[in-house]
Structures are given as structure tokens and as C-alpha cells.
Structure 1
Amino acid sequence: MALKLYPVGIQTFERIRKENKLYIDKTEYIYRMTHSGGCYFFLSRPRRFGKSLLVSTFESYFSGKKELFEGLAIEKLEQEWMEYPVLHFDMSGGKHMEKEQLEDYLSNRLEAEERKWGITHSKRGVNDRLTELITTAYEISGKQVVVLIDEYDAPMLDVAHERKTLDELRNVMRNFYSPLKMCEPMLRFVFLTGITKFSQVSIFSELNNIKNISLDDEYAGVCGITKEELLTQMSEDIDVLAEALEMTREETIAKLKENYDGYHFSPASSDVFNPYSLLNCFDDKNFGAYWFSSGTPTYLINMLRKFKVLPAKIGRSLARSSAFDAPTENLKTITPLLYQSGYITIKGYDKMSQLFTLDLPNKEIKVGLFESLLPYYLEGMYAEEGDVAIAQMSVLIRQGDMDGALRLLQEFLGTVPYCNNTNYEGHYQQVLFIIFTLLTHFVVDVEVHTPNGRVDVVMETEDTLYLIELKLNKSAQAAMQQINLKQYDQRFARCGKPIVKVGVNFDAKKGNIEDWTIEP
């Protein structure tokens, strides 16, 4: 039996079904939401997680296209299949725009919907036009109207760090969304997707009855591909991938989990795989970094710089839901944006304390994020040169040759232009942390506490534990003396692996490693 083709880059439900491409059945969630008694729903998920496909599925469902749902879960659940007027607005094209451009964009989206309902002489403001559009569709059809808004926050995301511009664009969007409350008697269903939550956009500040399902257990798997779905609906695909890569089925599943799994969107969420990366992996028969290659997270980099977040601080932490589900305008930390954008996710939940454990989801995100951050610590670095040097270091460390790896790092840093504002140990600690993290095969942590102090960098390989101490403008021997004096190695005596101590000295003027010493 031939496998169905993968809908890579296709976000239209009707096209996927008509072309008989692979569709992971999410229609039970569609039925559940549309029969819950609620009217307004909001779902936050990271980019490339299937939000647009979900919106498109709602559009086909409310348009009464029963034939598209044959063989899916909803076919047995739905008895009526009523057709409603559907207004579908995609805001993803409204990025990187000034106020006037955004107003023109919204006007064009409204005009496209107005033509469908014979409105040729529209009112002036976007809010009055949306009101007229909903009223006309309601009166002509005799049925309540469905409003679907995909990526409602797209016009505001890239300016989230610029207060003045954000205020201007937010006012435009607030004006556009304002009729949704006033028109409530004429609305059957309103569904919005996005990445983050802008509380001062009218949909949240005025619609007090909107249900945010982003953290609900019953909708945790509505986007993405759950582990159960992978093992059942894509079971044959796993076998084909395993054969192509000359791996066992178990090895292939483990590799897929390592690279693309690890997401959880509620306290009791099942494992969720990144659908964009997973489908590309099956399509290419290769474990690539697809999610990062699909777009540079510029707004995230800008916010990391604004909040002065160190790379080593991105990762495991404890938080209440309010700390990572906070409105974007009121960010006190970077945590909400990291979570909502998909760079950290839920890894555990304690009911007693109501604390969530957050961490990086998987290898693809960890490597991709730090590759994006490295150029900001090494100005003028060419990504390709850095990738080659780091890959070579990884080989040497796996062979137990730390001396050779540091020599290679010294040669590489010697090719990087001088970096401003680096006259402190913390900068070089972050550089080493990023580089060692990008070695990908090893577990790396910084400022690890011991009874007598903190080790700058701890790196665990398959067969060795490295304790690395850094000094600036001193000597490698001084770094080693600190390791020995404070007996850092005793803290890790029960790790079951040989411990190797490494003292490294940076020269601030050269912006490079000056010397190092290694002791077993």
C-alpha cells in the first residue's frame, strides 16, 4: 500500500482532502468546540503548528462540506451538517507594516469578503465595514455568522519591543475587532488563533466571555501531532523512514522524539510533536532543523536583547501559569514570549503548588536557538565557519581530546573580529556555553552549585564529566587552582564517570583563549 503524500506547506483542509494527502484527524476537537455552548474561542500556539489548517477545517465544516469529512471522526458525531455564512480573515500578511499600510491591508481583506455578499458601496471605517458585513451576511442568509481570524496578532508581533509603533498598530487592530462584541446576537461562532495575547486589543479587553483554550487539557492536542497519532495514523510512515535511514523502528521513534517531540500545552498534555518538522522529516527522509530554517525569529532576538537574557538562563525553570501566559504589552520577563513562541514548553506540573516546570522542548529547538544567538556574542562570525568549527570540536571531544578541541576553538576565535563590551568573565562564559551546547551530543550547564561555590561550566559526555573554570586576564593555572581549592570535583564524585578538570584563561584584549590546562 502506497503512503499518502505529505501536505508540506499546504494549509487548506479542502485541498488536502481532495488531493488525498495525509491528514491527521483533528475533527473530534472541531465537533467538541462547536458543540460546547460557547461562542468566542482563542487558541495560542507557536508558528508552524497547524493553526491555519485548523481554521481552514472550521471553514469547511461550517460551510457544510460534509463530503470532505468522510472517514474522519466527526462523520459519526455530527448529525445536522448545517451551512453557515463564514467570514475568514488571515492576518499573516499584515506583518512589517506602518499604520497606513495596515489600514489598507485590512481594507483589502474586508473588500474581498464584501464582494461575496454584494456590498459595493461600503462604509468608511474598518469597524463600521465589519459591522455592515456581519449584518448583511446575517440578513441575506437568515443564519448566524461564523467569523474565523487566523494569526490575529501578526501585525503587532514584530513591533512588540517598540512601544510607540506597537500602540499605533494595536489601536488599528482594536478598531477592527471591536464589532465582534456588539454583533454577538448575529454570531454563531468566533475563533481566533495567534501566538501571543495582546490584552489591550478589544477582543480581550472587551469580550469578557471569550474562552482561551490554549492551556486546556481537552484541547492540548488540537494542533501538532501527538505521540498517539504518530504511532497509529503514521505507523507505516515510521517503518518507511526507518528503512530509508537503515535504522530499527525503535531507533527511528527515539530519534523523532529527540528532535521534534517534547511539547506540552496543558498540565496533563500528552506529548506533542512539531508537525512542520515532523512532516518535512518524513518527506525528506532526513533529520533536519526544519522549524528554524522556515523563519528567523527576529522579534524574539530583539526581546532577548531588550531583557538582557543570557543564553544560559534560557531553559529549565519553575513558574505559575500567569508567568508564561501574560499579555505581551506587560512583559516583565521574557518567559511568556519564549513559551508562546515555542522555544520553551511545559515539562511538568505540581498540583499542590500549582507550579509548572518549563524547559526547551527538544534538540531541534535547543540547537537552532543557540545557533541564532551565537552571532550576537561573536560579532562578524560567519555561520558556516562556526558550524564547521563546532562540528570538528564535537568529534575531538567524543574522542577524549579536549586539548585538541580547545586548540581548534582558539583558532576559530582568532578569526572572529574584536567584540565590544566583552571585558567581563560572564561574556566568555556565555560564549563557551553556547558553543558547547551546539556540540549537541553533550549535556551542558553553567554556574552549577557545589558546597564551596559554583562551577562555571559542567559538560557531560557519554563517558566523561568535564568541570570547566574560566578566568579573564589571569591564567589557566589560577582557574585550575580554584577548582582544586574549592574541591568542585567532590560534588560530582558519584556521577559514575571519570572527572576531568579544565582551567581556561581568556585575554580580553585579544578576545580569545590565552591558555588552558587539563587535569584528570
Structure 2
Amino acid sequence: MSQTIYPIGIQNFEKIRKDGYLYIDKTAWVYQLANTGSYYFLSRPRRFGKSLLLSTIEAYLQGKKELFNGLAIEKLEKEWKAYPVLHLDLNAERYSEAGALESILRRYLNLWEDRWGKDEREITPADRFTGVIRRACEKSKQRVVILVDEYDKPLLQAIGDERLQEEFRSILKAFYGVLKTMDGYIKLAFLTGVTKFGKVSVFSDLNNLMDISMDNRYVEICGITEKEIHTYMEDSLRELAEAQGLNNEETCRKLKERYDGYHFTEDSIGIYNPFSLLNTFAKKKFGDYWFETGTPSYLVELLKHTHYDLYEMANTETDADVLNSIDAASRNPIPVIYQSGYLTIKDYDAEFGIYKLGFPNLEVEEGFVKYLLPFYTNVSAAKTPFEIGQFVREIRTGNYDAFFKRLQSFFADTPYEVITGQKPERNTELHYQNVLFIVFKLVGLYTKVEYHTANGRIDLVLQTERYIYLMEFKLNGTAEEALQQINEKQYALPFYNDNRKLFKIGVNFSSETRNIERWIVEK
């Protein structure tokens, strides 16, 4: 039995090293960062090790040599100088009102001024920050290290409130702008966050900031690689396999399927979600650990606000400019969803510079789609697993009538705001497509589903052990027309030699009643 202690929820490097927690050595990258540049930005999803990375940089640049015994940096660093460090963590606060951001900045500025001195003439947060940097450098005779954890938390929490977001933006723009004006006093500045707000936002003046979010050299700086699993956690892997009654190969395959698959550049190795992986090893059980810590509601607000087609989200193509930056005025939710870790790079067309995106792994796909269901239907989050279980049972037993009646209940009492806006008919169509996308994505976790959508219609193939369903959904057509299309387009042709029972089902969805009106079945 291994005695590995997993650092779940522990983001302090010194505590991890002193208390004997598992540490996966990322210090070679830390040394490279600190000795080859001055200003960095890194975007990674939440719970991906960004805070631990900053804590590691802090310990290194404070000269705490004893914490790095046996790590890669021990052989690289010869001098171990101690620099003054100003570490700002914006993660812990709730930014629901205007004063919240200024309050947390005041708290940190007070602490730094207690250490490095104060000038009463400095009033604004930006002025005080400037003064602290200058005094810290002059008193220590060393340039200053500035670390900002989750720089974007206030902006993300205010994503649905343009007035509040504008207020936060103007405060942060001036505050972070100090990094450029005080260049001569700064040894290293490192900002982390989930997203990168660009153009008219906080980074517009920080053109000296190197963004390493999509930089091949630093792909492995946060998260865990397959090689690292085998280097640091081979015993844990064996114990998990034993607990689950699997062999090592099956266990590795299941870990990969559930938690691997993050690609932050084209053609890069897959990165595992560290939070989910460590929880799985600690509890010796596969689970949706990343989702249990809460999904940001701003994502759903953004999807609903922009009337976004979820089918497009799971099959989207875009370029690096879109992925890299969030324009505060943009109505495209894809950069936020990508940078938040719900989509990742699946493929890259080098000729046109186009990235194809998709869900990174099963945990994210299942968790995100389950999370969306209550926001698009009248089904509560607590009832979602039950409803999906019923759908799957009905499909497996060939009870299509019960299946469609259940689906009708999902559309009943659709919230009015779903179809309001400039194009209510288009929004109704989108809503019905989005609900079907969510339902069939979830059903597809247990059965085989092929799903296509175009111009007010959806065609769908659903396969179980005993049955094959060919479905055509039409908006404002008739069920007969939908069935006729299945026959005309010969959707059943690939299954003629299949022993399973085949159902062809034409379905009509009415925008007037905002529900499935009728379905007819040909066996």
C-alpha cells in the first residue's frame, strides 16, 4: 500500500514540500521563465494548478533553496537571490458589487505598505501600487516580483452586467498598467487567469506581456502528462486498478477517456486535469470531481444571452485570434468556453490557421451537458440523472411512445425569455435544437448516437443492442414529411443486413406550441 499524500486543494508550494505531499516537478519551467523573460500571462482552466505554479515561483524567487532539494531547479540555480514579492490573489472574493474590487486591492496594498512603507499623497490603487513597487525595490536593493492569481475573476463574475464590468475594467486597466510604467523596478511579473480579455480591455496597454497560454514550450507547465503519471504515480495506478477490479491497461484507458485530452496548442501531447486525476487516485474511484466543485454560471448566461447553437459549440472551428482573446464587446461565447476548459483543440488546419474544437474528455462532455439541461428545460438538476436514465431504459426496451411523451414534457413550460428577442421564430428553432442536442448527447453516453442539424431539421440515428432508430425532426412541417425524407434519402440503407429491429420515426415540432406535436413510426 503506497503512502502517497495527495495535495488536493493545496496550492501552497512550501506546505506541499514541508508536509510530504506528492509534488510533480515543474521547476525546470519555472527556472526557464524567470531567467529568459520578465512579463508573462498564462491562461488555464480553473483547478489546473495555476495557483501552485505562482506559489512555486514565489518560493524560488524568495530564495528558499531548502524547499527545492531533489528538484530539477536545484541543479540549474547557482545564486538563490531573494527578491521582494508582491502576490495578489483575486480568487477568494465575490465581485457582485462595485466596491468589492477596490476593497480587496486596498487590503493587499495595506499589507504591502506595512512592509515597504506608505506615502499619504498616493490615493488611487494604481498610485499606491506604483509607490509600493518603487519603495520595495529601493529598500531591498533588488527588483520586485509581481504575481497576480486569477486576474480576471472580477471581469468574469460581472460578465452579464456591462456597467459593473466597465467599472472593474477601468480600475484593473489602471492598476495593471503600472507594470509597464514601472518596468525598471520589476524583475518578473506573472499574471494567471481563466480568460484573456483583449482589445478595449485590461491588456490593451500591456503590450510587453508574453502570453504563454498557447506556447509549445510551456504546454506541460500546469496539469499532468501521461509520462508524469507513470513517473510519480505508478503505485497509485496499481491500487486504483485493484480497487476497480480492472487491469492496468484498462485503468489507464479509463483515466485517459475521462480526464485526458486537453490540448493547448496544435499537435501537442494531451494534458490530464490534475484535480480530477488526484481525486481519482486518492478515493480509488472514478468520478466527476472537476464538476463537483461548481461550474461557473457565467457560461450558461453567455450561451443563453447570445442564443447560441449548442450543436455548433461542439463542432466549432475558429482561429488563434478568437481563441486567444475575449473582446468585452463580443457576443461570441466560444473563447470563454474554450479558455474555461470546456472545449479544447482537437485538430488544426495549418494552411488556413483554423482550429477545430471539441470536448476534451468524457468528464467534461457529460458534466457540462448535464449542467446545461435545467437551464434549457423545466427539469431540475436533481431530477436530471433520473430523467436521462428513464430515456435510456425506454430506448433499450423499444418503448418509443414513452420516450417521446417524456421528451414532450421537457419542452412543456419553456421559459418565455428563451424565445424573446429580435428573431423569436429563430430562437424557438434554436431552443428546440438545443434541447434535442442536450438530450441526445446524454442518451449517447449509454447508446450510439449520430446527430446532424440543418435549417430547422434534425436527422438522428440511435442504436442500442436490440434496436435501431432513424429519426427525422422537422420544424413546422409534418411528421409524414419527416418520415418521407427518411425513405427518400434512404437513411435505412446501411442497416438492411442488421439483425436488430429498425424503427423509422418522423417527428413534427411546432413553433406555435413550442413542442413536439406528433410522431409517426414505420417498423
- Whether TM-score is above 0.5 comes out as yes
> What displacement does 1:367 show?
1.4
- Distance of 2:114 and 2:323 partners within structure 1: 41
Contact 1:3 1:237 in 2 (8 A): no
Preserved CA contact (<8 Å) 2:172 2:202: no
Look up the match of 1:489. 492
- Helix, strand or coil for the counterpart of 2:399? helix
State the 1:407 CA deviation: 0.7
Equivalent residue number for residue 170 of structure 1: 169
Aligned-residue offset at 1:300: 0.8
Moved more, 262-271 or 155-164: 155-164
Alignment-mate amino acid for residue 446 of structure 1: Y
The answer to whether the 8 Å contact 1:437/1:443 transfers is no
Contact kept? 2:280, 2:286, Cα under 8 Å = yes
* Cα offset, 1:288, TM superposition: 1.4
Give, in whole Å, the separation in 2 of the partners of 1:159 and 1:415: 30
Paired position in structure 2 for 1:294 = 293
List aligned pairs for 1:365-404, cutoff 5 A: 365-379=364-378, 381-397=379-395, 399=396, 401-403=397-399
The alpha-carbon distance between structure 1 residues 415 and 489, as it changes in their structure 2 partners (threshold 3 A), is closer
Aligned residue number for residue 11 of structure 1: 11
State how far apart, in whole Å, the 2-side matches of 1:66 and 1:89 are: 23
C-alpha deviation, 1:345, in angstroms: 0.6
The one-letter code sitting in structure 1 at the alignment partner of 2:128 is R
Inter-CA distance 415–337: structure 2 relative to 1 (3 Å threshold): closer
Q: Determine the structure 2 residue equivalent to 1:407.
A: 402
One-letter amino acid matched to 1:403: N
Letter in 1 for 2:126: N
Q: Which residue of structure 2 aligns with residue 56 of structure 1?
A: 55
Classify 1:241/1:481 alpha carbon distance in 2 versus 1 (closer, same or farther; 3 Å).
same
Q: How many residues align?
A: 512
Asked if structure 2 preserves the Cα contact closer than 8 Å seen for 1:45 and 1:51, the reply is yes
8 Å CA contact 2:199–2:327 kept in 1: the answer is no
1: distance between equivalents of 2:120 and 2:399? 76
Kept in 2, the 8 Å contact 1:171–1:201? The answer is: no
Q: Secondary structure of the residue that 1:93 maps to in structure 2? A: coil
Report what 1:282 is aligned to: 281
CA deviations 1:51-76 (Å, max 9, x no partner) are: 11111111111111111111211112
Structure 2 CA distance for partners of 1:219 and 1:465, relative to 1, 3 Å:
farther
Q: Is the 8 A contact 1:465 1:497 kept in 2?
A: no
- In structure 2, C-alpha distance between the alignment counterparts of 1:164 and 1:316, rounded to whole Å: 33
SS of match in other structure, 1:115 = helix
Q: Is the 8 A contact 2:201 2:327 kept in 1?
A: no
Q: Who is 2:471 aligned against? A: 468
How big is the shift at 1:385? 2.1
Residues 373/447 of structure 1: CA separation in 2 closer, same or farther (3 Å cut): same
Distance 2:250 2:182 in 1: 54
Secondary structure of 2:22's match?
Answer: coil
Equivalent residue number for residue 249 of structure 2: 250
Specify the SS of the correspondent of 1:83. Answer: coil
Instruction: Identify which range, 118-127 or 217-226, moves more after superposition.
Output: 118-127
Root mean square deviation, CA, Å:
2.8
* 1:337-383 residue CA offsets vs partner (Å, 9 max, x unmatched): 1111111111122323322221111111111211222112213x222
TM-fit CA distance, 1:308: 0.9
In structure 2, the partner of 1:435 is 439
* TM-aligned CA deviation for residue 414 of structure 1: 3.8
TM-score relative to the length of structure 2: 0.90
Give the partner amino acid of 2:431: H
Is the partner of 1:333 in helix, strand or coil? coil
Measure, in 1, the Cα distance between the counterparts of 2:245 and 2:350: 43
- Within the candidate set 451, 460, 467, 1:457 is matched to 460
Bigger shift: residues 307-316 or 202-211: 202-211
- For the residue of structure 2 that corresponds to 1:135, the secondary structure is helix
Task: Map 1:175-194 to 2 at 5 A.
Answer: 175-194=174-193
Per-residue CA distance 1:317-352 (angstroms, 9 max, x = gap): 222111211233142422211111111111122323
Given that 2:457 and 2:474 are in contact with CA atoms closer than 8 Å, whether structure 1 keeps it comes out as no
TM-score (norm: length of structure 1): 0.90
Matches within 5 A, 1:117-156: 117-119=116-118, 123-156=122-155
1:507, 1:201 → 2: CA distance? 42
1:418 aligned residue: 413
Which residue of structure 1 lines up, in the alignment, with residue 333 of structure 2? 334
C-alpha displacement of 1:90: 0.3
SS at the partner of 1:205? coil
Tell me if the contact between 2:84 and 2:140 (Cα under 8 Å) persists in the aligned partners: yes
2:200 touches 2:327 (CA, 8 Å); kept in 1? no
Counterpart Cα distance in 2 of 1:469 and 1:123 = 68
Of 185-194 and 231-240, more deviation after overlay is shown by: 231-240
Aligned-residue offset at 1:456: 2.5
Aligned mates of 2:482, 2:202 — CA distance in 1: 56
Q: Give the structure 1 partner of residue 422 of structure 2.
A: none
Counterpart check, 1:502 vs 2:505: yes
The letter of the residue matching 1:469 is E
Are the structure 2 counterparts of residues 331 and 462 from structure 1 closer, same or farther at C-alpha, using a change threshold of 3 Å? farther
Structure 1 counterpart of 2:442, one-letter code: L
Structure 1 residue 281: deviation in Å?
Answer: 1.6
Contact 1:260/1:362, CA 8 A, preserved across alignment: yes
Q: Does structure 2 retain, via aligned residues, the 8 Å contact 1:263–1:361?
A: yes
Contact 1:448-1:458 at 8 Å conserved across structures: no
Cα 1:411–1:494 shift into 2, 3 Å: closer
1:438-489 per-residue CA deviation (whole Å, 9 max, x = no partner) reads 1213454533579xx9753333557865421124677644432221133233
Q: Is the 8 A contact 1:91 1:154 kept in 2?
A: yes
Whether contact under 8 Å (2:474, 2:509) holds in the other structure is yes
Q: Is the 8 A contact 1:418 1:510 kept in 2?
A: no
Identity %: 42
More off after superposition, 103-112 vs 409-418: 409-418
Q: Distance in 1 between matches of 2:224 and 2:205?
A: 33
Question: Could you tell me how far apart the structure 1 residues matched to 2:121 and 2:466 are?
Answer: 71
Summarize deviations over 1:408-460 as a string: whole Å, max 9, x none. 4524754875224678555333322211211213454533579xx97533335
Q: Secondary structure at the match of 1:391?
A: helix
Q: Is the 8 A contact 1:445 1:458 kept in 2?
A: yes
**Cα separation, 1, equivalents of 2:497 and 2:390:** 27
Distance 1:17 1:515, change over 3 A: same
Distance in 1 (CA, whole Å) between partners of 2:230 and 2:454 is 40
Q: Deviations over 1:106-127 (max 9, x none)?
A: 1011112222234485732111
- Give secondary structure in 1 for the equivalent of 2:92: helix
Counterpart-to-counterpart distance in 2, 1:153 and 1:28 = 27
CA contact (8 A) 2:457 2:473 kept: no
Cα separation, 1, equivalents of 2:201 and 2:394: 56
